[in-house]
Amino acid sequence: MSGIIYILTGPVRHGKTTHLFHWTTVADRSIGGFLCPDLGGKRMLYDVFNRRYHPFEVRASYRGETVRVGRFCFSQAGFDLAHVMIDEAIRKKTDWIVLDEIGLLESKNLGFASCLEKVLRLQKSHAYLGDLLLVIRLSCFQDIISQFGIEMYHRLTVDHLLRSPSEWKSV
C-alpha cells in the first residue's frame, strides 16, 4: 500500500517549521528529509534523519553557485545536499519524508522541485511506501498542486502537529 501525502500550509512566519521541527523530535517513527529553519536571521538546511544543520542562506558576496528568490540568496550546494537527504531517506525506508518548504522557486521548476518530483514519483510507483509531509507556501498552494499533479492529500495546519499522525487521517 502506498503512503499518504500530507500538506502543511499556513501564513508566512506562522510557526510551520518550528512546530514541524518539534514534531520530528518527538515522533515515534523514522523520519527523513529536510527543514529550512531560520536561525539567527539566516535560513539553514536541517537534515531531519541525522539531526544536523547545514548552511543554506548565504550573502550576496558568496563565491559559490547561488540561487536567488526575492531578497534571499541560497547556496546551490544546499539544494544539492537536500537531494542527498531525500536519497538517504528513501534508501533507509523511513516512515516519513518531510520537504520544507515548497514555494515560488519550485513553481518555476527550481529549488527543491526535483526532490518533490522524485518523492512523488517513487511514492506513486510504490518504490517508496512511507508518508510524505510537504510544507507548501500558501501563496503557491494551488499552482504547486496542479503543476506536480498532487491529487490525493490531507491538508494540515500547525495545530495538527500537536496531535498524533493517526488523528490526521480524519482531516
What's residue 40's pLDDT?
A: 92
Shortest CA distance to 78 belongs to which of 69, 90, 67, 89? 67
Domain ranges of the chain: 5-56+82-170
Model pLDDT, residue 69: 87
pLDDT of residue 154: 93
Residue-wise pLDDT tens digits, 60-113: 899 999 999 888 999 999 999 999 999 999 999 999 999 999 999 999 999 999
Residue 164, pLDDT score: 78
pLDDT band at 163 (very low <50, low <70, confident <90, very high): confident
> Does residue 156 have a pLDDT over 70?
yes
Tell me, what's the pLDDT at 51? 96
The second-level CATH assignment, the architecture, of 5-56+82-170 is 3-Layer(aba) Sandwich (3.40)
**Residue 170 confidence (pLDDT):** 55
Q: How confident is residue 158, by pLDDT bands cut at 50, 70 and 90?
A: confident
C-alpha cell at 110: 527550481
Q: What is the 3-state secondary structure (H, E, C) of 2-38?
A: CCCEEEECCCCCCCHHHHHHHHHHHCCCCEEEEECCE
Q: Which residues are within 8 A (CB) of 164 and not within 5 positions of it... i.e. 6 or more apart?
A: none
**pLDDT score of 162:** 80
pLDDT at 169: 62
Global pTM value: 0.93
Q: Which long-range contacts (CB under 8 A, 24 or more apart) does 14-21 make?
A: 14/158, 15/158, 16/100, 16/101, 16/135, 16/158, 17/100, 17/101, 17/135, 19/158, 19/161, 19/162, 20/98, 20/100, 20/133, 20/135, 20/161, 21/46
Q: What is the pLDDT of residue 48?
A: 97
Half-sphere exposure (Cβ direction) of 3: Cα atoms closer than 13 Å? 23
Phi-psi region of 116 (alpha: psi -120 to 50; beta: other; left: phi over 0): alpha
